[in-house]
Amino acid sequence: MDPNDIPAHPEPSSVPKGVSPEPNLAGAPAPLDAAVLERVRQRDPEALGLLYERYFDRVYGLVHRLLGDRTMAEDAVSEVFLKVHRAADRLDPQRDPGAWLMTIATNVCRDLWRSGAYRMGRRASDVQDEAGVGGRLSSNTPGPEGELLGAERERLVQEALAELPEQLRIAVVLHDWEGLSHQEVADRTGIEHAAARKRYSRAITALGRLLKERLR
């Protein structure tokens, strides 16, 4: 594995030096302090363990949403943190590593999509979170019936996401689930802002077509 595949810790957008940006994702973990991150940079096992515990849920949620498969998501998370360990010296201890981790996670998913081992299935996947597109489309009916309807809608949304092309799926997941702005999505995926907005619009249109019949 080429360590040059790991992105450098990205610069924050419009944030004064020394001030951590507010997390985009509701419920995102509070950043580890600079002393702990410096130990992560030096590959201290205890500090790496703290990083893993703090960001596991967020990384897992992203890759599971992108891959649509629980087992693949678990394997992908392991690969993400292996890459983090190997590239720990690139970490900037003065900034929240969340964006860096999410970029690595997205790239790991891309590598999986392009590998012979990955074949996106059309079967339903159990999805535990209710964030992003799926969460917004979930039923508002209270009680067990509402929970059942919400779970079924979430399953259908996940199936529809699995049918989107790679670029469109990333556009929806990063913007609606990860909570990134179109500019942040553009920065993370290496495209222009206008292209990111257009890609998202195409993704939502495609999702709408796929879900039109399924969510009746």
**Domains of the chain by range and CATH?**
27-118 (1.10.1740.10), 141-216 (1.10.10.10)
Predicted pLDDT of residue 35 = 93
In this prediction, residues 59-67 reach a mean pLDDT of 91
Cα separation, 210 vs 137, in Å, equals 14
User: Residues 177, 207: contact at Cβ < 8 Å?
Assistant: no
Pair 103, 132: CB distance under 8 Å:
no
> Tell me, what's the pLDDT at 193?
93
Q: Which of 72, 53, 150, 58 is nearest to 111 (CA)?
A: 72
Q: What mean pLDDT is reported for the chain? A: 75
Distance CA 153, CA 214 (A): 8
> Is the pLDDT confidence value at 175 over 80?
yes
- Between residues 40 and 118, which one has the greater pLDDT? 40
Quick one: average pLDDT of 23-38?
69
Distance CA 129, CA 28 (A): 14
How far is Cα 86 from Cα 3, in angstroms, rounded to an integer?
7
Dist CA 117 CA 127 (whole Å): 22
Closest to 70 measured CA to CA, from 193, 158, 183: 158
The predicted-structure confidence for 109-149, as pLDDT tens digits, reads as follows 988 887 755 554 433 333 333 334 444 434 344 555 545 55
Lowest average pLDDT, out of 14-18, 47-51, 87-91, 200-204, goes to 14-18
